[in-house]
Structure formats: structure tokens, C-alpha cells
Amino acid sequence: MIQTIVLPGRENFPKSVDPAIPLSRLQQAVDSNIFREIQSRFGSRPISTWGFTPTLANKTPKNWNALEVGDRALFTGNNEAFAVARIFDKVHHPEYARQMWGPTEDGRIWEYMILLEDVQRLTPPIPYVDLNPPLGYSSTFVYPGALLLSPERSLVLSALLEERGIKPTPQTPSPPAPAPLPSRKELEGLASLDKPSLVQRRAEQQSLRRFLLEGNSTALCALCGESFSQDLLIAAHIKRRSDCSHQERLDFDHNTMLLCLFGCDALFERQYVIVNAEGTVHLGRRAETDAVQRRQAELTARQVRGWKQPAQPYFAAHAERLRQPVTDESEA
């Protein structure tokens, strides 16, 4: 059943919903990594978004949690409903929201976002006196911020809209659903294993990758920065797993990263590239062929995506292996 969220839209609707934000403007507003990430996820269509802040207790807002792809947003203001739109994706992206809209007065960010399509203006708008009574509200009721209608009310609204000739247009196919996020416990259990079997290694690889994908179906490779679908990415340990202490294996926030299967994983695993103390990619092992040299050159001087200071010792341990002979071992 389609749910409806009523949103107070007079002020922000024209800023982020309609007209939609063209990619060219988006590109100027956010940094290049975020832009590429958004583009890989949403393609090249202009983007209509709405953001919700976390609660005062810094929790995920209930409304946003409850919303699902295919649900409807109803925009209101000045005592009338003036537009509807369909939710085609949900994304939690604090950095995008901060760069696009900045913080609220109390410092919160509109980080819980819904992506909208099929935005339709109601012409004429539906005044509250016509809208509210069928929904079971008094005609003077004013919607308090964002309000999720009950399923019954949402059904009534569908009928009301249909009377006015407002029908949802067919949905554009949604991207493949990403795998659910693994729990930290699940990950820790697998990371704790001293000598995991092949099956356990695979399970660890899969849950680590889901962890690093953060619920997305695509992500950027940490070294080349290009966008790949999940089946073309590997969750790589920075310091070789078999060299890690128990504690280091559990530090997946800093000791793992997503690398593409288009070369970055292999070049890093075999130290053809290494990363310095500032998170910059450097030449590692000397390449014996032009093809490898070319790929090395593409990566050097790049900043590792998402590099954080606590990752530095792991990259140092990785670079240390340069002194050791190349092995065929396939352990990352």
C-alpha cells in the first residue's frame, strides 16, 4: 500500500524539488567524489530531493525510516496542497546534505534524504477546506511539519487526487536492491577467526563488502575513485589479514577498503602501489611491463578515498611488505 508523507513545502520545494537540480549545478555544489557517487547512483537525470534532519537525540527520524520506495510525498503550504511526487529512493548522506543545504540553526543536517520523481503540480491546488475533511481532519487543521498519513488516509488521498485527474505515472525501474547491511556482531565473529576456512573467508569477504557499501548497490573504488557495482568490488584488508592481530582484524573501519577488480585490488595486494603517511598513492614495486606501468601511473598521486589517520599504520605495514619477495598468495 502506498504511504503518504505530508511535507511543508512552500519554502524548500522550489529550492530542491521543482525545478529539479540539474547535474551541472549539483557538480558545482558538492565535491567531485560525492558528485560522482550521486551520478553513479541516479544516472544523469536532474535530481529532486527532500531532506530530514536527525531527531534532537541524534536518531534516525521515524518518518524517514517508515517511508518506502514508491510512497508519495504531498507538498503543502499557505493552507493548501500544491504538489505530489513519488519517492524513488532513500539515501542517508550527511556530506551531500551538508554541502547542498548547510546546517540548520541548531547544527543539524538534512542528511536523511528521499529522492523524488514524477513531481506533479496540483492545478488548481487543493485548499485545506477541501482536503482535510475527507482525510478526517478539521478544515482548519494545519499540518505540523512532516506528517506520515495513516494507510486509510493515504487511500482516501489517492481517490481525491484521482478525482482531479492526478494519477501516478509508471515508475522508472529502480536499481537492483543492495544486500542488507551486516551487523557489527556478525562481522566481528568472522573477523575473530584465527585461521578461517575458505567458506568462512568468503562469508567474511561478503559481509565486509556489504558493510563498506553502506547499503548502496554501487560504490567508488578507494584507489582509482571510479564507480563500480558491488560485484566488481572487493573488501580488501590494508594490512594483510594473516599478519593482523586480533584487534587489528576487528578494526574494519580503518583496516579495510573497497577496491575494484579492474586492477586496483591486484596492484595493491602485490605492492605495485603503496600509500604514504598522508594517504597519497605512490609507486611501489617496479613494473616489468608497460601495461602495469600505465596503470600505476594512473593511480599515483591520488588521495585514497576516505583515508583517515588511524589507517596510516595499516598502510605502513602494507608498504613494509615491499621488502619481501612477491608471492602468489592470494590473501589480501
Residues that bind Zn ion (CB under 5 A): 221, 223-224, 260, 264
* Cα 151 to Cα 246: distance, rounded to the nearest angstrom: 49
Q: What is the number of residues in the chain?
A: 332
What amino acid occupies position 214?
E
Q: Shortest gap between Cβ of 216 and Zn ion (angstroms)?
A: 16
Cβ closest to Zn ion, residue 5 vs residue 259: 259
Show the DSSP H helices in the chain as ranges: 13-16, 23-29, 32-42, 62-66, 94-101, 128-135, 151-163, 184-192, 198-213, 246-250, 252-255, 264-269, 290-299, 312-320
Name which of 123, 151, 119, 146 is nearest 135 in CA terms.
151
Number of Cβ within 10 Å of residue 204's Cβ equals 24
Cβ closest to Zn ion, residue 131 vs residue 236: 236
Cβ closest to Zn ion, residue 108 vs residue 270: 270
Q: Shortest gap between Cβ of 36 and Zn ion (angstroms)?
A: 13
Q: Shortest gap between Cβ of 226 and Zn ion (angstroms)?
A: 6
Collapse the DSSP code of 179 into the 3-class scheme (helix H, G, I; strand E, B; otherwise coil) and give the result. coil
Residue 252's φ and ψ, nearest 5 degrees, are: -70, -15
Number of Cβ within 10 Å of residue 6's Cβ equals 23
DSSP H or E segment with residue 210: helix 198-213
List residues bridging with 227 in a β-sheet: 220
Cβ closest to Zn ion, residue 149 vs residue 219: 219
Q: Shortest gap between Cβ of 269 and Zn ion (angstroms)?
A: 12
Q: Are 321 and 245 in contact (CB under 8 A)?
A: no
Q: Shortest gap between Cβ of 264 and Zn ion (angstroms)?
A: 3
Cβ closest to Zn ion, residue 157 vs residue 220: 220
Q: Shortest gap between Cβ of 266 and Zn ion (angstroms)?
A: 10
What amino acid occupies position 198?
L
Half-sphere exposure of 209 (CA within 13 A, CB side): 24
Q: Shortest gap between Cβ of 253 and Zn ion (angstroms)?
A: 20
Q: Shortest gap between Cβ of 224 and Zn ion (angstroms)?
A: 3
Number of Cβ within 10 Å of residue 158's Cβ equals 18
* Cα 161 to Cα 133: distance, rounded to the nearest angstrom: 14
Q: Are 177 and 185 in contact (CB under 8 A)?
A: no
Name which of 248, 291, 301 is nearest 266 in CA terms.
291
Cβ closest to Zn ion, residue 153 vs residue 318: 318
